[in-house]
Amino acid sequence: QIEYHISMLKKMLGVGQAPSGMVLIPAGDFQMGHDDSGRHERPTHTVYLNPYYIDKTEVTAEAFKKCVDAGKCKLPYVGDDYSYNNGGYENHPINGVDWFHARDYCLFAGKRLLTEAEWEKAASWKDGKKYWFPNGKKEITCADAVLSGDGEGCEGDHTQPVASRNVEINGTYDMAGNVMEWVSNWWYAYSEEPQNNPQGPEEGDERSIRSAAYNYGDSYMRGIWRSAWGPTGYDVNIGFRCAQSAQ
C-alpha cells in the first residue's frame, strides 16, 4: 500500500524512476547559504527548486573518454596528475576540464550541468545542516572525504576513485572532496530575496564552482563553500557531475 501511494504521488508530480546512476532530489524549499559563513556564502535565503535528478558520483575519466571517442568532447588536459588516459585512474573523477568540457559531456550524456542552487540542495543534510560532520562526529577526516591531511585514510595528494569514502548524502558521494565541480551558472552575489529555480545572471566573467577538492583541508568541506573561475580555466582539482530535470 505504501509503495503504491508513493508511486501514484510520483506520477502526479511528473516524477519517474531515477535514471541509472542518478538519484532524485524532490521538489521543495531549502535554505541556501549561511549567515555565519564567508562573505560569498551569505546571506541565508529561501530557494524553491523543481524536482531533478543528480549523478550519484562525479563523472569519471573512463566515462569522459567515451564522449571524446564519440567526437562530442574535446580532449581534456593530460599529464601525470590528470586522470584522462592515465593508467589506473579510469574510475577517478575526470579533471583538467574547463566549463565547456563539462557542458559538452553532460549534453552527450543526455543531461545538463547542475545549477548552483541544485548543487547546494543536494549537498545539504535533510535537517538543514551545512557542514560535513557525518554521523554525529565533530570533525571530518580522510575516512569521510578525499581531502588533504595525514590521518587515517589519507593516500596522498591526488584524486581517488569516486564513491571511495563512506559519507553519503541524499544518495550522492564526493559532494565534499575529491574534485571541485563546475555548475551551469555565472558567478553571482547572494541576496535575501526568496528565489524560484534560480539560473543565475545571463552573463558574467566567471562560472561558479562548488565543493572543495583533494588538496583542500577539512575547513572547506562544507556544503555551502563556493568559488569561481573563468570558463576556459582548468586544473587538477576541478571536475563535474550532471543533472536532469525530473518534470
**DSSP of 76-99:** ---STT--TT-TT-TTSBP-S--H
Question: Which helix (H) or strand (E) element contains residue 227?
Answer: strand 226-229
Q: Encode pLDDT of 10-66 as tens digits.
A: 544 546 789 999 999 999 999 999 888 888 999 999 999 999 999 999 999 999 999
Bridge partners for 168 per DSSP: 173
Q: Is the dihedral of CA 129, 208, 38, 141 positive or negative?
A: positive
**Average of pLDDT values for 62-84?**
96
Q: What is the pLDDT of residue 1?
A: 60
The residue assigned the cell 508511486 is 7
pLDDT value for 174 = 94
Stated pTM of the model: 0.90
3-class secondary structure per residue, 50-65: CCEEEECCCCEHHHHH
Mean pLDDT (whole number) for 202-217: 95
Tell me, what's the pLDDT at 39? 85
**For the CA atoms of 158, 161, 162, 165, what is the dihedral angle to 10 degrees?**
-80
- Split at pLDDT 50, 70, 90, the class of 218 is confident
Average pLDDT, the chain: 89
pLDDT at res. 12: 46
For 139, the 3-state DSSP assignment is: coil
Which residues are CB-contacts of 103 (< 8 A; sequence separation ≥ 6)? 113, 184
61-73: b (≥16 Cβ within 10 Å) or e: bebbbebbeeeeb
Q: What integer pLDDT is reported at residue 130 of this predicted model?
A: 64
Q: What is the pLDDT of residues 88-136, one digit of tens each?
A: 999 999 999 999 999 999 999 999 999 999 999 999 877 666 665 655 5
Is the confidence at residue 179, as pLDDT, over 80?
Answer: yes
pLDDT digits 0-9 by tens, 141-169 = 888 889 998 766 677 788 999 999 878 88
* The predicted structure's pLDDT at residue 157: 80
Measured CA to CA, the distance from residue 191 to residue 174 in angstroms comes to: 28
**Region class of 69: left (phi > 0), else alpha (psi between -120 and 50), else beta:** alpha
Quick check: 201 and 186 in contact, CB under 8 A?
Answer: yes
CA distances from 56 to 40, 85, 118, 150, 179 (A): 26, 23, 14, 27, 14
**Amino acid code (one letter) for 173:** Y
Please answer whether residues 157 and 237 qualify as being in contact, where contact means their C-beta atoms are separated by less than 8 angstroms: no
